[in-house]
Amino acid sequence: MCLTAYLAASVPLLPPDAEIDRPTFNLRPLKGSEHEVARHFTLPFAYYLGSHTGCGCGFGSDEPDNGTERELTLRDLVAFLDGLPEVRCVELYVCWDGDEADPRETALTF
């Protein structure tokens, strides 16, 4: 079973129907049942976010031999977001695949 990660922002991060598919991370609009996750966000523009593994598992720290790849993934994602000057805030939601409709258990604010 995979982790899934979703990212929401106050402004669009991609043009309509566009996707980003880099070796380090991928970002695309929500599809089908993934729209369930939007209710967990306070920001209006939600996306599926994948890591170098293609899913959210690469964002975790307990994957074998994940240290360097995870670091590169996070660094590239932060650089992408920093390169969008209109982005002031993002929210992240992580769950097990298929649990998108489940209630949020924890929220962190920074």
CA-based torsion, 90, 17, 15, 28: positive or negative: positive
Decide if pLDDT at 84 tops 70: yes
pLDDT, position 27: 97
Express each pLDDT in 40-65 by its tens digit.
Answer: 999 999 999 999 988 998 887 666 66
Please answer whether residues 28 and 36 qualify as being in contact, where contact means their C-beta atoms are separated by less than 8 angstroms: no
Provide the pLDDT for residue 86: 85
Full-prediction pTM beyond 0.95?
no
CB 8 within 8 A of CB 93: yes
Q: Where are the beta strands (DSSP E) in 1-110?
A: 3-9, 20-21, 26-29, 45-50, 90-96
